[in-house]
Amino acid sequence: MSSRSPVPAAERPGESLRLIEVKVAENQEIAPGIFRVAFPRPWDFFPGQTIALSTDPSIPARYYSIASGCHDPVVEILYDLVPEGLLTPRMAGLGAGDTLLSSEPFGAFLDGDGASLWIAAGTGVAPFASMARSGMVEDKTLVQGSRTLAGLYLRGYFSSVLGARYVPCCSTESAAGVFSGRSTAWISSAALPDAERVLLCGGSRMVVDARDALIARGVPFERVISEIYF
C-alpha cells in the first residue's frame, strides 16, 4: 500500500450510507464490556479508516475504526457494550455465521511516512492497531491509556512490534513496564519523541486534554490530528 499524507479527519457520512451484508466470523468479549467482532474483508481500505455497522436496517448505524491490517483476510472491529444502547447489545449477541451490516470504509484519519506519535485511549487504539498490523511501525511511538490493565488491548502485540516506543499507561492499577497515571500525565512529564505529527484517538475529553498537554509542551497545533469517539 502506498503511503498517504495525514489530513484532518473526514466529515462523517449521513445515515443514508449504503450498507451491505457480511457474515460474522468471530465475536468475543476480550475484556469486561469490550468486544472484538470480525468478518471476511469485502473491500480494500487504508489503515485508520472507519466503517459504519448495524444489525438491522431499522437501527441507525454507528461508526467504528478498523483494527485489522489492510492485507488481513478479515476485518476486525473493537466495540464497547452499551447495555442501554440500541445496537451494541444486539451486536454482542451475534455468533459465527450471523449477518452484520457494514458500509464501505471512509475517513481520512491517516498517517504518513516519517516519525509519528500515536496517543489512544480505550477502543480508540483501533486505528493504530490497523496501522501497526499494516506494517507502519518504523519511527512510530504509541502511548496507550486505560483505567485498567485489562483495557490495554493488544498490549503484548504492541510491545513486540514497537518495543521501547510503546508506552502503556494505567491510572488505577500497576504493573511492570506500565506508566502509572493517565496518558496526559505522561505527555506532561516525559521526553516527547521528535515527531512530525501527533495522532490522537479516543473520547472527547481525552483528546482535548491530550491536545492541551501537547501544546503546553510546545507541540504546534497544526501537527495534531484528532479522531474523537462519541
Question: Domain locations in the chain?
Answer: 20-102, 116-229
Is the per-residue pLDDT at 220 higher than 80?
yes
Is the per-residue pLDDT at 15 higher than 80?
no
Q: For the residues 5-16, what does the mean pLDDT come to?
A: 40
Helices (H), the chain: 88-92, 126-133, 155-162, 183-189, 204-216
20-102 carries CATH number 2.40.30.10:
yes
pLDDT of residue 70: 97
pLDDT of residue 17: 80
Tens of pLDDT, residue by residue over 168-207, are 999 999 999 999 999 999 999 999 999 999 999 999 999 9
Tens of pLDDT, residue by residue over 51-108, are 999 999 999 999 999 999 999 999 999 999 999 999 999 999 999 999 999 999 999 9
For the entire predicted model, the pTM comes to 0.91
Q: In the chain, what percentage of residues exceed pLDDT 70?
A: 93
Q: Residue 16's pLDDT band (boundaries 50, 70, 90)? A: low
- All 3 cell numbers of residue 183? 496518558
Domains 20-102 and 116-229 in one fold? no
Is the per-residue pLDDT at 4 higher than 70?
no
Q: Are strands 20-23 and 99-102 parallel, antiparallel or unpaired?
A: antiparallel
Sequence letter at residue 227: E
Tens of pLDDT, residue by residue over 20-53, are 999 999 999 999 999 999 999 999 999 999 999 9
Alpha-carbon dihedral angle through residues 146, 147, 151, 153, given to the nearest 10 degrees = 20
Task: Please name the CATH architecture into which domain 116-229 falls.
Answer: 3-Layer(aba) Sandwich (3.40)
**Average pLDDT across the chain, whole number:** 92
How far is Cα 69 from Cα 81, in angstroms, rounded to an integer? 23
